[in-house]
Structure 1
Amino acid sequence: MRFFLSLLIFLSVSSLAQADTIRRSIPANKTSSVGAHATYNAQCMPSSIPKMKIAKQPENGTVSFKQVAFKLSEDAGRCAGRQVKGIAVYYKPKRGFRGQDEFKVRFTMDMYSARSAKIRNVVDKYIVEVK
C-alpha cells in the first residue's frame, strides 16, 4: 500500500512537470498575461513558487514575470478552484508589431516524492499571435 501511494504521488507530481507548447492570441500594443505556473502536491496544497527564466527571447517583444495568487483551472483535476501562489508570464509586443512571435520559458521547481527531494527543470514554448 505504501508503495502504491508513493507511486501515485510521484505520477501526479511528475505529470505537472511535462513541457508544453502554449498558444495565445493577444492584442497589439498591450502587455498581456499569457500563462502562469504554480506547484502543488497530491493533497492540493501549494508547494514552493517556481523559479522562472527566459530560455529563448522573443524576437518582437519582451517577457516579464510577476508573483501572483490565482485559482487552479479545471486542468488541475480534483485540485481545480484551489488558491495557490505562482508566477504569471507576461508578454509585451513591440509597438506596432502584429503577427506571430515565440519564446521559451524555463522554470525550476522542487519535487518531493517517496521520501526524496528532486529539482525539476521544464521548458515551455509559448507561441503568441499578436492581433
Structure 2
Amino acid sequence: MATAKQVKVPANKTTYVGVHGTFSSDTCSGGTIPKLSLGRKPKHGKVTFKPVGGKLSEGPCKGSYMRGTGVFYRPNSGYRGSDSFSVEYQYNYFEGAAKLTHTSRSYRIEVQ
C-alpha cells in the first residue's frame, strides 16, 4: 500500500495539493489526462479538480511540458487540524490501450 501524500495547508484558503497526469520518460511526452473522482471524502473541507499544466522540474525530461488534473483542497471556514481524503483515477497506460488502468492516491492534510 502506498504512503499517503502529506501536505500542510493554510486555514481558510484553497490550496493546490497535487496533480495527476501520465507521462512517458522514454519520449518526454504527455499522455492522456486521467479521469479523477473523489474516493474517500474529507471530513473537514472540500476537494476540487482543475486542469493544470507546466514544465517538469526534475528527472530526465526536466523542462518538458505536461498537462494533468490538479487536486485542490479548501478546509471548512475556521477549521484547523488534520483531514484526509483519497482520489481515484483511471487512465490509458499508453495511447490506444485496450483497457483502462485504475488506481488511487491518499492525501493527509494538516490545516494550520
Is the structural similarity TM-score above 0.5? yes
Within the candidate set 75, 82, 105, 1:100 is matched to 82
Change (3 A) 1:19 1:73: farther
2:23–2:31 contact (8 Å) kept in structure 1: yes
TM-superposed CA distance for 1:105, in Å, is: 0.2
* Distance in 1 of aligned mates of 2:20 and 2:56: 10
- Alignment partner of 2:50: what SS? strand
Aligned 1:89-128 pairs, distance under 5 A: 89-112=71-94, 117-128=98-109
* Distance in 1 of aligned mates of 2:77 and 2:105: 25
Change (3 A) 1:111 1:54: same
TM-superposed CA distance for 1:116, in Å, is: 5.2
Structure 2 portions without partners, runs of 5+: none
Aligned residues: 111
TM-score by length of 1: 0.78
1:19–1:122 contact (8 Å) kept in structure 2: no
Runs (4 or more) in structure 1 with deviation over 3 Å come to: 115-118
Change (3 A) 1:20 1:47: farther
* Structure whose alpha-carbon radius of gyration is higher: 1
Give the structure with the higher percent strand.
2
* Distance in 2 of aligned mates of 1:53 and 1:116: 21
* RMSD of equivalent CA atoms: 1.9
- Alignment partner of 2:84: what SS? strand
Change (3 A) 1:20 1:122: farther
1:71–1:84 contact (8 Å) kept in structure 2: yes
TM-score by length of 2: 0.90
Give the structure with the higher percent helix.
1
